[in-house]
Chains A and B, each alone.
Chain A
Amino acid sequence: MPKAPFNAWLVPAGRLLLLLGLCFLIAGPWVCSIPQLQLLTQFLSLLVIAIMWNLLAGYADIVSVGQHAFVGIGAYAFFGFAVFAGFSPYLALLAGGATALVFAVPVMLIIFRLRAAYLAVGSWVVAETLMLGAGKLTAFGGGSGVSMPVSVVRSLGVQPALRYSHIYWLALAVAAVALATTWLLMRSRIGLGLTAMRDNEEGAGSVGVNLIRSRILCFLWTAPFLGLAGGIITLQKLRVAPPASFSITDWTVYVIFIVVIGGIGSFEGPIIGTVVFFLIRQYLAEIGVWHFIILGMLSIGVIMVEPRGLWGILRRVVPGDLIPVSHRPPARPLAGSDSAPSGTHLKEPHSTPAG
Chain B
Amino acid sequence: MFFSWANQILQGVLVGGLYAMFAMGLSLSVGIMRFVNIAHGDLIVLVSFLILSLTQAFGLDPILAVLITLPLAFLGGYLLQRYLLQRVIGEGVLPIILVTFGLSIIIQNGLLGTYGADTRKVAGGGIETATLMLGKGINVGVLPLAIFVTAMVMVAGLDLLLYRTRMGARIRAVSDDVSSANLVGLPSAHIYAIAMGIVGVTVAISAGFMSVWTNFDPTSGPSRLITAFEAVVLGGLGSLWGTLIGGIVLGVAQTLGAQFDAAWQVLAGHIVFLIIFMLRPQGLFPRN
By a beta-carbon cutoff of 8 Å, the part of chain A in contact with chain B is 57, 61, 63, 65, 109-110, 113-114, 116-118, 120-122, 124-126, 128-129, 132-133, 136, 143, 248, 253, 256, 260, 264, 288-290, 292-293, 295-297, 299-300, 303-304, 307
By secondary structure, the A interface counts as helix
Which of the segments B14-22, B101-109, B159-167, B175-183 contacts the partner chain?
Answer: B101-109
CB-defined contacts of B263 to chain A, threshold 8 Å = 136, 143
The reply to whether A121 and B271 contact each other, CB–CB distance below 8 Å, is no
The reply to whether B266 and A132 contact each other, CB–CB distance below 8 Å, is yes
Does B65 belong to the interface (CB within 8 Å)? no
Contact with A along B68-103 (1 / 0, CB 8 A): 000000000000000010011000011111110111
CB-defined contacts of A121 to chain B, threshold 8 Å = 36, 38, 225-226, 229
The reply to whether B267 and A129 contact each other, CB–CB distance below 8 Å, is yes
The reply to whether A293 and B103 contact each other, CB–CB distance below 8 Å, is no
Which of the segments B48-56, B206-214, B274-282 contacts the partner chain?
Answer: B274-282
CB-defined contacts of B237 to chain A, threshold 8 Å = 118
Q: In angstroms, how far is the closest chain A Cβ from the Cβ of B143? A: 27
The 3 nearest A-B residue pairs measured at CB: A117-B36, A116-B93, A292-B109
Q: Can you list 14 pairs linking A and B with CB atoms under 8 Å apart?
A: A57-B94, A110-B274, A121-B36, A128-B270, A129-B271, A132-B267, A136-B267, A256-B101, A292-B106, A293-B110, A296-B106, A296-B109, A303-B102, A304-B87
Bound together, the chains give a CA A325 to CA B99 distance in angstroms of 27
The reply to whether B98 and A256 contact each other, CB–CB distance below 8 Å, is yes
Q: In angstroms, how far is the closest chain B Cβ from the Cβ of A304? A: 6
CB-defined contacts of B35 to chain A, threshold 8 Å = 117
Other-chain residue from B94, B102, B113 in contact with A290 (beta carbon distance below 8 A) = B113
Bound together, the chains give a CA A126 to CA B273 distance in angstroms of 10
CB-defined contacts of A290 to chain B, threshold 8 Å = 109, 113
The reply to whether B278 and A110 contact each other, CB–CB distance below 8 Å, is yes
The reply to whether A133 and B267 contact each other, CB–CB distance below 8 Å, is yes
Residue of B nearest to A248 (CB): B222
CB-defined contacts of B169 to chain A, threshold 8 Å = none
Other-chain residue from A133, A143, A289, A299 in contact with B102 (beta carbon distance below 8 A) = A299
Other-chain residue from A126, A288, A297 in contact with B113 (beta carbon distance below 8 A) = A288
CB-defined contacts of A120 to chain B, threshold 8 Å = 36, 38, 97, 101
Residue of A nearest to B26 (CB): A121
The reply to whether A125 and B230 contact each other, CB–CB distance below 8 Å, is yes
Contact with A along B217-238 (1 / 0, CB 8 A): 0000010011001100100010
Other-chain residue from A61, A297, A307 in contact with B95 (beta carbon distance below 8 A) = A307
Q: In angstroms, how far is the closest chain B Cβ from the Cβ of A335? A: 39
Does B112 belong to the interface (CB within 8 Å)? yes
Contacts A124-B226, A260-B98: A253 and B105 contacting too (C-beta < 8 A)?
yes
Q: In angstroms, how far is the closest chain B Cβ from the Cβ of A306? A: 12
Q: In angstroms, how far is the closest chain B Cβ from the Cβ of A211? A: 14
Q: In angstroms, how far is the closest chain B Cβ from the Cβ of A67? A: 13
The reply to whether A118 and B97 contact each other, CB–CB distance below 8 Å, is no
Residue of A nearest to B273 (CB): A125
The reply to whether A63 and B106 contact each other, CB–CB distance below 8 Å, is no
Q: In angstroms, how far is the closest chain A Cβ from the Cβ of B111? A: 9
CB-defined contacts of B95 to chain A, threshold 8 Å = 303, 307
Contacts A113-B281, A296-B106, A303-B88: A126 and B274 contacting too (C-beta < 8 A)?
yes
The reply to whether B274 and A293 contact each other, CB–CB distance below 8 Å, is no
CB-defined contacts of A116 to chain B, threshold 8 Å = 93, 97
Q: In angstroms, how far is the closest chain A Cβ from the Cβ of B31? A: 12
Residue of B nearest to A304 (CB): B87
Q: In angstroms, how far is the closest chain A Cβ from the Cβ of B82? A: 14
CB-defined contacts of B38 to chain A, threshold 8 Å = 65, 117, 120-121
CB-defined contacts of B277 to chain A, threshold 8 Å = 110, 113
Q: In angstroms, how far is the closest chain A Cβ from the Cβ of B178? A: 17
Q: In angstroms, how far is the closest chain B Cβ from the Cβ of A300? A: 4
CB-defined contacts of A65 to chain B, threshold 8 Å = 38, 101
Bound together, the chains give a CA A57 to CA B38 distance in angstroms of 16
The reply to whether B36 and A295 contact each other, CB–CB distance below 8 Å, is no
Bound together, the chains give a CA A117 to CA B39 distance in angstroms of 12
CB-defined contacts of B97 to chain A, threshold 8 Å = 63, 116-117, 120
Bound together, the chains give a CA A65 to CA B103 distance in angstroms of 14
Contact with A along B105-129 (1 / 0, CB 8 A): 1101110110000000000000000
Bound together, the chains give a CA A109 to CA B281 distance in angstroms of 11
The reply to whether B99 and A303 contact each other, CB–CB distance below 8 Å, is yes
The reply to whether A129 and B113 contact each other, CB–CB distance below 8 Å, is no
Q: In angstroms, how far is the closest chain B Cβ from the Cβ of A109? A: 8
Contacts A121-B36, A121-B226: A303 and B105 contacting too (C-beta < 8 A)?
no
Q: In angstroms, how far is the closest chain A Cβ from the Cβ of B54? A: 23
Other-chain residue from A118, A132, A133, A264 in contact with B94 (beta carbon distance below 8 A) = A264
CB-defined contacts of A133 to chain B, threshold 8 Å = 267
CB-defined contacts of A253 to chain B, threshold 8 Å = 105
Residue of B nearest to A113 (CB): B281
Bound together, the chains give a CA A307 to CA B225 distance in angstroms of 26
Residue of B nearest to A58 (CB): B94
Residue with the greatest number of chain A CB neighbours at <10 A, chosen from B30, B98, B108, B112:
B98
Contacts A61-B93, A124-B226, A125-B229: A300 and B102 contacting too (C-beta < 8 A)?
yes
Bound together, the chains give a CA A65 to CA B230 distance in angstroms of 15
- For the complex with contacts A63-B94, A117-B93, 16 further pairs of A-B residues with Cβ separation under 8 Å are A63-B93, A114-B233, A121-B225, A121-B226, A124-B222, A124-B226, A125-B230, A253-B105, A289-B113, A292-B106, A296-B105, A296-B109, A300-B99, A304-B88, A304-B99, A307-B95
Q: In angstroms, how far is the closest chain B Cβ from the Cβ of A178? A: 22
Bound together, the chains give a CA A304 to CA B237 distance in angstroms of 28
CB-defined contacts of B113 to chain A, threshold 8 Å = 288-290, 293
Residue of B nearest to A64 (CB): B97
